[in-house]
Structure 1
Amino acid sequence: MRPRTICLAAAAVLATAATWALTPPAANAATAGCSVSYRVTGSWQGGFQGDIGITNLGDPLPAWSLGFTFPTSTQKVTQAWGGTATQTGAQVTITNAAWNGSLGTNATTSIGFIGSWSGSNPAPASFTVNGVTCTGGTTTPPTTPPPSTPPPVAGPAPALKVSGNKLVTPDGTVVKLYGVNRSGGEFACIQGNGFWNGPMDQSSIDAMRAWKVRAVRVPLNEECWLGTPDVPAAYGGAAYQNEVKAYVNLLVRNGITPIVEMHWNYGLYTGTSSGCSDVKATCQKPMPDAQYAPAFWTGVATAFKGNDAVILDLFNEPYPERATGDATSGWKCWRDGGTCPGIGYQVAGFQGLVDTVRATGATNVIMIGGLAYSNDLSQWLTYAPADPLHNLAAFAHIYNFNSCANTSCWDSQLAPVAARVPLTLTEIGENDCAHGFVDTLMDWADAHGVGYLGWTWNTWDCSTGPSLISDYDGTATAYGQGLKAHLARVSS
């Protein structure tokens, strides 16, 4: 994803999903608890009306989000009042209205709704409010360490290689990549605003480690690395390269796996879903260019060869099918490059870029995404480049506004890839400052042995970023709280 404060996504690019609005519980709340009543107040063939009562038994809540799962896949909430309802599969989330968000201790509120069903209409078995299961009692959650107290560093990030569908260390330990993206290196330099966006120092990494972040994806700009005339001299070439190498090495020393990726590249593209009309590397292009991309990857691979703790991500979000006109021609362009219909510059295909990296002697794991802004992996296994080292991994980007944004699509498109090669969701997020969507996505990923990285560790408006933090000390946004809580459970 490119920063939306820099370049707004075209409406035609992405399928719009329903808006979520989940508000997390306050960190380290003294007590939490709730009770919920659910009743059907009217029923007819194929439809029903219901009422849900919520009582907050814990500390006062400034906002609330009710969650439950229908027992059957045919049950749907079609309309609600007293709250905003959204549904993915059988999972329902209802967030407060503007007038009833505040619930004091023992305060109650109610939600009315219309639903549909077929076959049977059983009541949900369990409910949560702000992620807390409603048992009719209260709990006192354990106190968590403040963000300024990261866990001790166990050692540098390990060298990684591909073994079947897993990433493993030299001793065979399986590693899943859990972490965040650190945006800035792809745009600040070419805009003349420095190398990065926000601090890239030890203190900022300590804040990440306090979240149990174990992987950081570092987006780069092709022209800044190469120091082309389009880049202010102070922020390009050797100066930029030294900044990148220093940050990547700092991550490794802190036990964090860096994923170095080419985000923005040179090439004029004004066709379908174009992000900009600029030939410069100032927006997302449909594919890497043959003019500069091989030189970029020769330089990056040379810089990090011999350090297999660093993963090389060849390109952020390909979308050649938007230019070529269909998926088949898009996948061929994706793999082979050359002259691709609808793209006005010569394309560097991923087979050629894999060959470029390996020609340097670099043995690092290489990651490659799919079509549709890395949201479509349907033919990834069919068109995957050949790697003489058999050290390729796949990645996908999943947002609530993508086309592949539900469990049925993940089961059909992602799961087969994850069964054959290591798969990481290197960008996940939602554009509503909530975390209901990513919670569901992370649960799916956990069940399939798939890692994930949230977009992004930057202090932007979470609805336009989206952004995980509101301060570089690690203060989570409402959206970021979902990833933070999940990493606390699954990351080592």
Structure 2
Amino acid sequence: MRKRTVLTVAAVLGLLAPAAVTAQAAAETGRPAPARAAATGIHVSGGKIVERDGSPFVMRGVNHAHTWYTSRTTQALADIKSLGANTVRVVLSSGARWTRNDVNDVRNVVGRCKQNRLICVLEVHDTTGYGEESAATTLANAADYWISVKSALDGQEDYVVVNIGNEPFGNNNATRWTNDTRSAVTKLRNAGFDHAIMVDAPNWGQDWAGVMRDNAPAVFAADPDRNTIFSVHMYGVYDTAAEIRDYLNAFASRQLPLVVGEFGHNHSDGNPDEDTIFAETQARGIGYLGWSWSGNSGGVEYLDMVANFDKNALTSWGNRIFNGAGGIRQTSREASVY
């Protein structure tokens, strides 16, 4: 999560039919698309996220900034679960910008998620705003980090989704997202990762230029496991119901799996239409992960769901996402693997 620049969302372009996904990849590479691997753990089926046994799984959860608040994580995960969440998206660092979360720390986070019967989406935050944020690192660097901590993730495919890098491009050179994302996914598959892989949109996650929207079929088809999940972050760009519905429709019509990996009730770049986000994701069976549990700073403290990591001190945003219409308590279902 970073400050975004508000720009008009591009109109949804012509949509590819689901059967065209593999054909498009083959045409672009000049080679037949590889055969799909057998499903392992959480995976994509028919454009939806399912568990190993085929049970539908709809993420209902929040983000927790572990890398900056490591001492808070044990209690935070327990509290997040107690309020009804079935998933937590955990902020990690590769060491490129912040203190590296090593393999033992990652193993501990996964263990804590399992102890609390949560599905764990792990993300590298150091990529945030690459191309515009000078300190940000590349998706290739993030993929290397995942490979370095792979031993903590092996055998955890039922419980862990690997979110390669947070908001991996700002508003500059966002067209590089497609090739860089395909390369990172390929690197992880070649290294033996069988997990569901989540990829964030460019433009600080909001994809206002439609780069992820338009190139998602090629990215999905380039994954030999066909197990890539797309994640859009909905802040000020998504301030009308029409913009939200159009974006969700663009993925649903092509049977491509999408989650709202971050969103809030307000933001410095505009006022998101959170009521439509809640209603539309529920109607469509799409997952969402609100930003964030606690510890925000830099003028966006209003995005804290609880004050000072205290689950008994819900903020207005926390009350909305946990207790409101379409919120976590009302719609969350624990993963069947538990």
For the superposition of Structure 1 and Structure 2, which TM-score range results when normalised by the shorter chain?
0.7 to 0.9
Q: Is residue 307 of structure 1 aligned with residue 156 of structure 2? A: yes
**1:93-492 to 2 correspondence within 5 Å?**
159-185=41-67, 188=68, 196=69, 199-201=72-74, 203-223=75-95, 236=100, 240-265=102-127, 269=131, 274-275=132-133, 277-278=134-135, 285=136, 288=138, 290=140, 292-308=141-157, 309-319=159-169, 322-324=171-173, 330-331=174-175, 333-336=176-179, 349-376=180-207, 377-385=212-220, 386-399=222-235, 401=236, 403-419=237-253, 420-431=255-266, 437-460=273-296, 464-465=300-301, 466-474=303-311, 475-485=313-323, 486-492=327-333
**Which residue identity lines up with residue 160 of structure 1 in the other structure?**
I
From the superposition, tell whether residues 253 and 268 of structure 1 become closer, same or farther in structure 2 (CA, over 3 Å). closer
C-alpha separation in 2, matches of 1:206 and 1:307: 20
How big is each residue's C-alpha offset from its partner over 1:76-129, in whole Å with a ceiling of 9 and x where there is no partner? xxxxxxxxxxxxxxxxxxxxxxxxxxxxxxxxxxxxxxxxxxxxxxxxxxxxxx
Question: Closer, same or farther in 2 for the Cα pair 1:171/1:293, shift >3 Å?
Answer: closer
Which string of whole-angstrom CA distances, capped at 9 and with x for unpartnered residues, describes residues 385-411 of structure 1?
511111111111001x2x233221222
Cα separation, 2, equivalents of 1:421 and 1:268: 25
- Given residue 72 of structure 2, which amino acid in structure 1 is its aligned partner? P
Extract structure 1 runs of 4+ deviating beyond 6 A. none
2-structure distance, mates of 1:262, 1:460 = 17
CA deviation vs aligned residue, 1:358-387 (integer Å, no higher than 9, x gap): 122221000112232221243143442511
Higher helix share: 2
Residue 112 of structure 1 corresponds to which residue in structure 2?
none
Task: Give the Cα separation in 1 of the matches to 2:230 and 2:322.
Answer: 24
Q: Which structure ranks higher in relative contact order (CA pairs < 8 Å, sequence separation ≥ 6)?
A: 2
Q: TM-score, normalised by structure 2?
A: 0.76
Please list every run of 5 or more consecutive structure 2 residues that lacks an aligned counterpart in the other structure.
Answer: 9-39, 334-338
Distance apart, 1:299 and its partner CA: 1.9
* Cα RMSD, aligned residues only: 2.9
SS of the residue corresponding to residue 204 of structure 2 reads: helix
Residues 35-66 of structure 1 deviation map (CA, whole Å, 9 limit, x = unaligned): xxxxxxxxxxxxxxxxxxxxxxxxxxxxxxxx
Query: How many Å apart are 1:423 and its aligned residue?
Result: 1.3
- CA shift at 1:298, angstroms? 1.5
* C-alpha contact 1:418 1:449 (8 A) present in aligned 2: no
Aligned partner of 1:219: which letter? V
Alpha-carbon distance between aligned partners in 2 of 1:404 and 1:319, rounded to the nearest angstrom: 18
Query: Could you say if the C-alpha distance between residues 443 and 206 of structure 1 is closer, same or farther in structure 2, counting changes exceeding 3 Å?
Result: same
Call closer, same or farther: CA 1:268–1:260 in 2, change over 3 Å: closer
Secondary structure of 2:259's counterpart equals strand
Greater strand fraction, Structure 1 or Structure 2: 1
Contact 2:84-2:329 at 8 Å conserved across structures? yes
Deviation at 1:289, TM superposition (A): 5.2
Indicate if the aligned counterparts of 1:266 and 1:289 stay in contact, CA closer than 8 A.
Answer: no
Larger radius of gyration: 1
Q: Give me the whole-angstrom Cα distance separating, in 2, the residues matched to 1:436 and 1:373.
A: 15
Taking structure 1 as reference, are residues 236 and 444 closer, same or farther at Cα in structure 2, changes over 3 Å only? closer
Alignment partner, residue 12 of structure 2? none
Equivalent residues of 2:307, 2:314 under 8 A apart: yes
Secondary structure, aligned partner of 1:374: coil
Question: CA separation in 2, counterparts of 1:253 and 1:171?
Answer: 21
- Give, as a single letter, the amino acid of the residue that structure 1 aligns with 2:192: G
The 1:432/1:462 distance shift into structure 2, 3 A limit, reads farther
Q: Is the 8 A contact 1:469 1:476 kept in 2?
A: yes
Identity of aligned residues (%): 24
